[in-house]
Structure 1
């Protein structure tokens, strides 16, 4: 599924192309499940705010992929044809056969459903990685934005599992807020309301929060900084409001012993490989024993990528949308 111009979901069309061959350091995966994230809808509209997005038409979008290895490029060790694996790739995921960097591979246990396991390569690692980057300690208060989304619903559960004393979730609909509560959020507020920050502060008895997991952007970033208690940390890892400028945070707002940092999966994986492996092991274990729920709202055929994008952009569903290539 590819597109040759920016636009609405309808620009995503099916195309028959040659099966890609892996180059040095790459493997090819026969896809069982491909996640569809909000970031990919931003890429399709050319409003994705990250500098690594430099597409060349026609574009095949990326995402989390789970499947089996069908070919191995030169120099790749530790993996065999037939192994069940997952990977996150910036390009090329919306296809039956996907070539990925072997360094990004994660093992996927046979016992896991492919669509549910599609959180392992990227989405789940981001949720776990931002919490590690935030240096969350037991008993602390965590604010999770977009808490019913693909990353947020995992972050709520992982924060509780890590011993957070209070998890405050934000979501834009009553259905999504109920969903966040069902996963362990203690408080859920509507971040689209003008007084949402006052609700959060009231929930903490006026103290503020210790950790903010920020993925919305716009003026929500600065409001999150204002909510930080002394010693509080805000981790910025995305901007679903990319059409709005992500504001610069005035340095004077940090004088009250507040910290702001950013997170990117690739930078974290490369600079803190031990922490990355620890989180991956934790995620896999939690999925296998049921302590972590990977919510799949819809499973659609690969050829329904346009429908999947429209569903994600409607922002009415909790959990994730997954594409499932049809078996031969």
Structure 2
């Protein structure tokens, strides 16, 4: 039998009192503009024997949250009513009886916590990572799925030192981590695309050797000029849409394109002509769920790498704005209007 003294749920009196009352949660009951997001009262989330209960201090807001709210997410619209599942940093207040290695009072981040736009979240302990000392809660949300995606994309692309990397949408939550991680992992040249002068300056400040305005029709030519005659060795693309074929044609011989989303709003992705791959170019898709199922050891390696890069200062998570939980609609507007740089977080 487990040591009940070690694993028993421990709830300080002040926490127990807080949990007796209803807590705030943000949901939408229909698809549509940001105003469909509502702050509601709900019972605190229940947690099982292998789960932890976390009081949220910062909640990441992702472009996928916007697409799901609009009902345009490429993998399908979520069932209604819906509360986004995203990264949450906060403090553990309760643990399930089978949880080990995590204790109440610890600062943690939960990746892809269910019903995340809320004051409390419950999630499997396997999705919980304790935080390094000195890392703020808002910045820590980027140790969740967003930062992991950036590092796992580079793992999937098998980046080696001396190669040229192109990061599409380099000013975004994933992109700004990928720009820095690529540099830290030995890329000789990092090129980033962005859609405004402020964002172009931002990606340069992160270490991009070249910044290209992807709103210009000639952006592929400008990338090729920055990359050199051979082309780009690694391309990370979460934008998708018809211009994906431009990525393919920018690849150097043996180049690798990793596609991980469609933030550009086009759910229909183009077919890649076989002849465009004859230069030994490779195109692959990426999802966290598939990698977690098929290569758990590689996932763990990536998580350790991300923590090291953040801890030693090689990667600097950037927070664009901290928005009150009750103003979740404004947080969505920042992403939908494409003005944010780094990550937007909600603060309960």
TMscore range, shorter length: over 0.9
> 1:176-216 CA distances to partner (integer Å, 9 max, x unpaired)?
01110111100111112111111111112221100000110
> 1:24-68 CA distances to partner (integer Å, 9 max, x unpaired)?
5322211111011111001100111125x5x33221112111112
Q: 1:35 aligns with which of 53, 60, 77?
A: 60
| Match in the other structure for 1:80 | 103
Instruction: Give the whole-Å Cα distance in 2 for the aligned partners of 1:157 and 1:137.
Output: 15
Query: TM-score with structure 1 length normalisation?
Result: 0.94
Query: TM-score with structure 2 length normalisation?
Result: 0.89
Q: 3-state SS of the aligned residue for 1:2?
A: strand
CA apart distance, 1:158:
0.4
| Match in the other structure for 1:9 | 34
CA apart distance, 1:74:
5.2
| Match in the other structure for 2:160 | 137
Of the two, which has the highest radius of gyration?
A: 2
| Match in the other structure for 2:20 | none
Instruction: Give the whole-Å Cα distance in 1 for the aligned partners of 2:98 and 2:81.
Output: 29
CA apart distance, 1:143:
0.5
Unaligned stretches of 5+ residues in structure 2: 1-25
> 1:153-181 CA distances to partner (integer Å, 9 max, x unpaired)?
01000000011011110001111011101
Instruction: Give the whole-Å Cα distance in 2 for the aligned partners of 1:74 and 1:13.
Output: 34
| Match in the other structure for 1:250 | 273
> 1:64-104 CA distances to partner (integer Å, 9 max, x unpaired)?
11112223335433322222221122631000011222222
Unaligned stretches of 5+ residues in structure 1: none
**Which segments of structure 1 move beyond 4 Å, counting only runs of 4 or more?**
none
Conservation of the 8 A alpha-carbon contact between 1:59 and 1:91: no
Conservation of the 8 A alpha-carbon contact between 1:47 and 1:243: no
Q: 1:163 aligns with which of 176, 186, 209?
A: 186
Q: 3-state SS of the aligned residue for 2:173?
A: coil
How many residue pairs end up in the alignment? 323
